[in-house]
Structure 1
Amino acid sequence: MKKTTTEAPERLQLDEAAIEAARQDIGDGAVTPGYGPWRDDIVRLLNDALATELVCVLRYKRHHFTAKGLASPAIADEFMVHANEEAAHADRLAERIVQLGGEPDFCPDGLSERSHAGYDESAELKAMVKSNLVAERVAVETYRQMIQLVGDKDPTTRRLLEEILNDEEEHADELADLLEQR
């Protein structure tokens, strides 16, 4: 019988040097040195997502107030629900940016350039639904990519992005259903 030797598995241990570093610079709040060199990149990604959410709020509100036709009251109501949910996403993103020691960029100058989704001035209901569906699909893809980029570098931000992604997927499904009904 062959005798095998197994090495003891590596023990799970906390990084005491990182814990000691966390005792320093307490003015940084929740941002500890463990955030490493990615904090600024994460804040930039979040500010771009913030711009996207704000543009989506504006597009949905415009569509809510300008929708016309027999089916428009129900669809317009859905547009307002989505606008409010996108505004809540923007608030959560801004809050996280501040937690990371950054500044949320609400400046209207350049908002549309930073946004991943476009603004839309469609006047026809079906075109409005389609425009919003395209924007939601873009949001789904950008949040998916951001989640991959952030990975384990910032678990709190990753969870936030995953929660928002879930909402965006629901929005896309709802809009796809509305488009099929038209």
Structure 2
Amino acid sequence: MTAKSFLTDIETIRQRAREHIDRGAITEGYKADRDTVIKLLNEALATELVCVLRYKRHYFMASGIHSKSVAAEFLEHAQEEQMHADMIARRITQLEGAPNFSPDGLLTRSHADYAEGDDLVDMIKEDLVAERIAIDSYRDIIQYLGNNDPTTRRMMEEILAKEEEHAEDLSTLLEALGKKGEPAKPATRH
């Protein structure tokens, strides 16, 4: 039994690299359906942007006895979700697509909802639901990509790991608040 040999013909690799040079990083080895990948990534981008907006609202609206530490968690998550959005947008452009930042239809492209929550506990629950949605949908994207686009798959795996961390953080916050009693409702802003 012979082991499969690695492609060692460097001249062939060099020749292929010169062909279709206008396609940038997309070589003959790219096996995914780019249009589908770009569509999925634009949905993930919308999901991240909606999460940024929801976390930012929760950060500013958090009030009550336990709000300071929870608001800090909301802000940290908002910043990390923005980093995810930037990573996704960058990858879309690498695939010769256009990242869709248009507010028109943002909620219909997003997998997560934009739910404001009435108090601190509701805000945490809404954020946890959104993280759980992202976890499941990003896992599906990763499975779809398989070995056809390993760069996008690795990026989505990195984002998925952070979303799972966010979900765990929020779950821990809910548990801690449950032991300390219901927080006060946010102040009404006019």
Q: Normalising by structure 2, report the TM-score.
A: 0.87
Residue 90 of structure 1 aligns with an amino acid whose one-letter code is A
Q: Give the total of aligned pairs.
A: 176
2:60 alignment partner, SS class: helix
Three-state SS of the structure 1 residue aligned to 2:59 is helix
Gaps of 5+ in 1: 1-6
Asked if the contact 1:49/1:93 (under 8 Å) is kept, the reply is yes
Q: CA deviation digits over 1:121-159, x for unaligned, max 9?
A: 212110000000010011111111111100111111111
CA RMSD of aligned residues (A): 1.7
With 118-127 and 166-175 compared, the bigger mean Cα shift is at 118-127
Please tell me whether the aligned partners of residues 18 and 33 of structure 1 are also in contact (alpha carbons under 8 angstroms). Answer: no
| Offset from partner CA, 1:46-87 (integer Å, 9 cap, x none) | 111000000000000011111111101110111010000000
| Structure 2 residue corresponding to 1:23, chosen from 11, 14, 18 | 18
Match of 2:174 in 1: 179
Residue 142 (structure 2) pairs with residue 147 (structure 1): yes
Letter of the 2:24 counterpart: G
Aligned to 2:2: 8
> Where does residue 81 of structure 1 map in the other structure?
76
Kept after mapping to 2: 8 A contact 1:18/1:34: no
Alignment of 1:22-61 (within 5 A): 22-36=17-31, 38-61=33-56
Q: Are the equivalent residues in 2 in contact too, given 1:117–1:139 (CA < 8 A)? A: yes
How many percent of aligned residue pairs carry the same amino acid?
Answer: 54
Q: Which runs of 5+ in 2 are unaligned?
A: 178-190
Q: Per chain length, whose mean CA-contact separation is higher, i.e. which structure has more relative contact order (CA < 8 Å, sep 6+)?
A: 2
Cα distance in structure 1, aligned partners of 2:65 and 2:80: 25
Contact residue 89 and residue 164 of structure 1 kept, 8 A: yes
